[in-house]
């Protein structure tokens, strides 16, 4: 069965010292649960986080990686670099990267392949803008994003992928998708994976919801059968709130 995955996405917040303080506090209040807890920290904070979380089962991830193994790519971070700091996951194709840094379905697909090749779990972000939702193209668009991200990925490897449905209009806005809206799209995502890889594999893929998830709405969202976890921005920056969401997932 799928184990809930609650992932924090710190975005461009916290210096290494602030990250260390967070992790020290977090490990004190975090209780061992049946939920997988993951922190996706800025690359420069990973070393501090990995030191401060040693001996716990709290996992670490990056927010982005480059698809080439190494080379003249100023400012980029390689998969080997983040793996050396203890990361088992990386977010790929977050809407902020698509919007501000030119990430496309094609680069997302390359990153998914590179991550899987290196044994890293990609958290593939998909989701529609408000305009696209109002135009009524959400389902087609998300289905296409999922297909493009997984293009050429083998059935054996796709099980290692996490897919996060993050409606762009719900990210950082305080406007959460209703449980019904989130469930509808997450079910479509699983149906898309089923169509591509069959029912058994579709059942094993972890699908998250992200977009203003917080302690007050986490339980209802996580109770939906096709929502296996959350990708949490703002509410993952405070250890108390993040723990509350993990505890809510543990009840489901
Ligand atoms: P938010 O961000 O929880 O602050 O809306 C979610 C995300 O961007 O992953």
- Tens of pLDDT, residue by residue over 91-107, are 999 999 999 999 999 99
User: Using 50, 70 and 90 to split pLDDT, how confident is the model at 33?
Assistant: confident
Question: Is the CB of 9 within 6 Å of ligand 1?
Answer: yes
Which of helix, strand or coil describes residue 191?
A: helix
H-helix or E-strand containing 44?
none
Can you tell me the distance from the alpha carbon of 61 to that of 43, in angstroms, rounded to the nearest whole number? 9
Q: Which two tokens stand for residue 23?
A: 């992790």
The 3-state secondary structure of 95-136, one letter per residue: HHHHHHCCCCHHHHHHHHHHHHHCCCEEEEEECCCHHHHHHC
The closest-lying atom of ligand 1 relative to the alpha carbon of residue 214 is: 3
Q: What is the pLDDT of residue 122?
A: 98
Active site residues: 94, 166
Backbone phi and psi for residue 225, each to the nearest 5 degrees, phi listed first: -60, -30
Mean pLDDT, residues 121-146: 97
Beta bridge partners of 229: 5, 208
Helices 16-29 and 239-251: crossing angle, nearest 10°? 40
The closest-lying atom of ligand 1 relative to the alpha carbon of residue 95 is: 8
Q: Closest Cα to atom 7, ligand 1: which residue?
A: 233
Percentage of residues in the chain with pLDDT exceeding 70? 100
Mean pLDDT of the chain: 97
Q: What is the pLDDT of residue 32?
A: 84
How many A from CA of 40 to the centre of ligand 1?
Answer: 12
Q: Which residue has the tokens 């990386």?
A: 90
Question: Is the CB of 233 within 6 Å of ligand 1?
Answer: yes
Q: For a substitution probing ligand 1, which of 8, 213, 217 has the most ligand atoms within 8 Å of its CB?
A: 213
Mean pLDDT, residues 30-51: 96
Question: ∠170-32-4 over CA atoms, to 5°?
Answer: 40
Backbone phi and psi for residue 193, each to the nearest 5 degrees, phi listed first: -65, -35
How many A from CA of 94 to the centre of ligand 1?
Answer: 10
How many A from CA of 171 to the centre of ligand 1?
Answer: 5
Beta bridge partners of 9: 40
Q: Is the pLDDT of residue 1 over 80?
A: no
Can you tell me the distance from the alpha carbon of 108 to that of 33, in angstroms, rounded to the nearest whole number? 32
H-helix or E-strand containing 25?
helix 16-29
């Amino acid at each position: 069965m799928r184990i809930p995955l609650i992932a924090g996405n710190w975005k461009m917040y916290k210096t290494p010292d602030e990250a260390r303080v967070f992790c020290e506090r977090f490990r004190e209040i975090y209780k061992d649960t049946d939920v997988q807890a993951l922190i996706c920290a800025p690359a420069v904070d990973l070393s501090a986080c990995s030191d401060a979380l040693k001996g716990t089962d709290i996992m670490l991830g990056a927010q982005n990686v480059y698809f080439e193994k190494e080379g003249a790519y100023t400012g980029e971070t390689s998969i080997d670099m983040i793996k050396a700091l203890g990361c088992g996951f990386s977010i790929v194709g977050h809407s902020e990267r698509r919007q501000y840094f030119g990430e496309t379905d094609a680069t997302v697909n390359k990153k998914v392949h590179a991550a899987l090749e290196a044994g890293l779990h990609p958290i593939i972000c998909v989701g529609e803008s408000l305009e696209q939702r109002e135009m009524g193209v959400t389902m087609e668009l998300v289905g296409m994003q999922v297909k493009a991200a997984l293009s050429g990925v083998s059935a054996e490897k796709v099980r290692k992928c996490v897919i996060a449905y993050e409606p762009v209009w719900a990210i950082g806005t305080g406007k959460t998708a209703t449980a019904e809206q989130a469930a509808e799209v997450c079910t479509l995502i699983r149906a898309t994976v089923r169509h591509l890889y069959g029912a058994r594999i579709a059942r094993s893929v972890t699908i998250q919801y992200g977009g203003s998830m917080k302690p007050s709405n986490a339980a209802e969202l996580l109770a939906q059968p096709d929502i296996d976890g959350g990708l949490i921005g703002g509410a993952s920056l405070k250890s108390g709130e993040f723990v509350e969401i993990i505890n809510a997932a543990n009840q489901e």
